[in-house]
């Protein structure tokens, strides 16, 4: 009887024993085209190092579905090794006590991440009041981009605008000719994306920081904010009636076809142009939206939770080290359309827009214009961010006056925080 039991145990346990080494279960929502391809690089690297990657893709809703799964797992005391979490949410999870004892910090210290990352990016990756690394960055997306159809602009004698007034003049000209000046999908997050770029341009870097990093109620209710909403109302007039609810990539398609001239969108839009075989400066222009050396960034990252079991901890360490690997940062970001978070990755193989993004990043960092995007959850508590987004999208999609919007904005932020 004993022998039989041992035999059964041996059979049952055999597969688990043969996988000894490092294990990592990774929750993410990069399941579409370029993103999936980019992530495959990481999976292959992980397997090549003898690790066992357990994929946990949860598609849909821009990460909503993934958040539901993640929270259920954490509450059940069964957190995955790593999850695609960014911005202040990283520190929020730390405050819930599910991240300490910061398994990857040793790797980060040994590899000298402090030197490999800019101070700003490193700050987002640290828990425990900035003492220990608890997340690893994969990329830097720029949000404040204008994408434009070259043919449409050239044939109408329009240059990429360097001020919002210039943009308005160009847009009026295009509209008179029956071209939609601004391709836009009026979904709350897209409205907020446009809004933050306008706020950065009209309010300036210091204003942006006060309003959307410090959530200063006085700044949110200021007369500058009224001007920003005025410009939003103008932009609304430059969109077409089919805009509400349109997906961002459909809007990008309108620029590609020449139905519309401009789109304001983060640099993932580049993936759409690339997929259609279009090239920067040949078929389309990319330029930052008008601002004084501002740069709104979104850093995607993986957070590493508290986890039990030696192989799982080893898996986390291996994963963290691979994510910060030079080769991975390069290949991943070429697929994804962003630029590497790691500073010493050569930019030679990247396209023109990515090179510009990289150069602008350095200038912005020097001039104090490197700022976190609030629309993409890099700053502010999610509740406050949501409250601002509600007002922005409500104003954009109704006849609300700019003054009322500003009043509502400061009230909503007060209520949410």
Partner 1 sequence: MYWLKRNLPRLVIAPSFGVIAWFVYGFIFWTIYISFTKSKLLPKYELWGIDQYFRLWSMPRWHVAVENLFIFTILFIILCVFIGIVLAILLDQKIRAEGFLRTIYLYPMALSFIVTGTAWRWILNPSLGIEKFAQDIGFETFTFDWLVTPGMSIYTIVIAGVWQSSGFIMAIFLAGLRSVDDEIIKAAKIDGAGIVSVYTKIILPMMRPVFMSAIVILVHLAIKSYDLVIALTAGGPGISSDMPAVFMTQMAFHRSEIGLASASAIMMFLTVSAIVVPYLYSELKREDDRK
- Is residue 404 within the footprint of partner 1 (CB under 8 A)? no
**Least Å from the CB of residue 265 to partner 1:** 18
Name every residue whose Cβ is closer than 8 Å to that of residue 295 and which is 6 or more positions away in sequence. Answer: 142, 144, 288, 360, 361, 363, 364, 365, 369, 370, 371
**Of the two residues 186 and 289, which places its CB atom closer to partner 1 in the complex?**
186
Count how many residues are written for the chain.
417
Tell me which stretch binds partner 1 (CB under 8 A): 8-16, 71-79, 215-223, 333-341.
71-79
- Is residue 412 within the footprint of partner 1 (CB under 8 A)? yes
Name every residue whose Cβ is closer than 8 Å to that of residue 34 and which is 6 or more positions away in sequence. Answer: 271, 274, 275, 335, 336, 337
Tell me which stretch binds partner 1 (CB under 8 A): 95-103, 155-163, 305-313, 363-371.
95-103
Name every residue whose Cβ is closer than 8 Å to that of residue 182 and which is 6 or more positions away in sequence. Answer: 171, 235, 238, 239, 260, 261, 262, 263, 264
Binding characters for partner 1, 97-136, by CB under 8 A (x = yes): -x--------------------------------------
Tell me which stretch binds partner 1 (CB under 8 A): 1-9, 29-37, 240-248, 274-282.
240-248
* Rounded Cα–Cα distance for residues 326 and 132 (Å): 22
Q: Tell me the three state secondary structure of residue 88.
A: helix
Binding characters for partner 1, 178-197, by CB under 8 A (x = yes): --------xxx--x------
* Rounded Cα–Cα distance for residues 377 and 89 (Å): 8
Of 41, 255, 408, 409, the residue at the interface with partner 1 (CB under 8 A) is 408
Whether the CA torsion 121, 125, 130, 131 is positive or negative: it is negative
| Structure tokens given for 41 | 């690089």
- Is residue 92 within the footprint of partner 1 (CB under 8 A)? yes
- Is residue 311 within the footprint of partner 1 (CB under 8 A)? no
- Is residue 237 within the footprint of partner 1 (CB under 8 A)? no
Of 395, 406, 409, 413, the residue at the interface with partner 1 (CB under 8 A) is 395
Tell me which stretch binds partner 1 (CB under 8 A): 89-97, 194-202, 309-317, 363-371.
89-97
Name every residue whose Cβ is closer than 8 Å to that of residue 32 and which is 6 or more positions away in sequence. Answer: 59
Say how many Å lie between the first and final Cα of the chain, rounded.
65
**Least Å from the CB of residue 382 to partner 1:** 5
Give me the residues that bind partner 1 (CB under 8 A), please: 64, 67-68, 71, 74-75, 89, 92-93, 95-96, 98, 186-188, 191, 240-245, 381-383, 385-386, 390, 393-398, 408, 412, 415
């Amino acid at each position: 009887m004993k022998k039989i039991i041992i035999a059964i145990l041996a059979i049952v346990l055999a597969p688990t024993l043969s996988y000894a080494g490092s294990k990592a279960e990774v929750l993410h929502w990069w399941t579409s085209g370029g993103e999936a391809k980019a992530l495959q690089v990481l999976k292959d690297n992980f397997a090549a190092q003898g690790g066992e990657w357990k994929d946990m893709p949860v598609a849909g809703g821009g990460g909503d579905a993934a958040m539901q799964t993640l929270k259920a797992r954490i509450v059940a005391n069964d957190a995955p090794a790593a999850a695609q979490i960014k911005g202040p949410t990283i520190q929020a999870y730390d405050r819930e006590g599910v991240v300490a004892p910061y398994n990857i910090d040793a790797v980060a210290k040994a590899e000298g991440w402090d030197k490999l990352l800019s101070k700003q990016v490193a700050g987002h990756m640290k828990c425990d009041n900035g003492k220990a690394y608890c997340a690893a960055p994969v990329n830097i997306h720029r949000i404040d981009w204008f994408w434009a159809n070259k043919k449409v602009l050239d044939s109408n004698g329009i240059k990429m605008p360097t001020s919002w007034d210039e943009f308005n003049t160009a847009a009026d000209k295009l509209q008179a000719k029956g071209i939609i000046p601004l391709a836009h999908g009026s979904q709350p997050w897209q409205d907020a994306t446009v809004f933050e770029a306008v706020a950065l341009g009209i309010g300036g870097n210091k204003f942006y920081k006060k309003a959307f990093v410090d959530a200063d109620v006085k700044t949110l209710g200021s007369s500058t904010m009224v001007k920003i909403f005025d410009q939003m109302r103008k932009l609304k007039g430059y969109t077409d009636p089919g805009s509400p609810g349109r997906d961002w990539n459909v809007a990008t398609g309108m620029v590609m076809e020449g139905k519309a001239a401009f789109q304001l969108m983060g640099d993932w839009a580049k993936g759409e142009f690339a997929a259609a075989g279009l090239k920067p400066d040949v078929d389309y222009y990319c330029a930052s939206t008008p601002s004084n050396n501002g740069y709104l960034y979104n850093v995607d990252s993986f957070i590493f939770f508290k986890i039990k079991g030696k192989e799982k901890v080893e898996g986390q360490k291996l994963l963290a080290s691979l994510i910060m690997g030079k080769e991975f940062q390069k290949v991943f970001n070429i697929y994804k359309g962003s630029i590497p978070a790691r500073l010493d990755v050569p930019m030679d193989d990247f396209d023109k827009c990515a090179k510009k993004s990289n150069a602008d990043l350095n200038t912005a960092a020097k001039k104090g214009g490197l700022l976190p995007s609030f629309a993409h959850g890099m700053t502010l508590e999610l509740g406050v961010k949501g409250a601002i987004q509600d007002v922005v999208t409500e104003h954009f999609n109704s006849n609300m006056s700019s003054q009322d919007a500003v009043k509502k904005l400061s009230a909503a932020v007060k209520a949410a925080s």
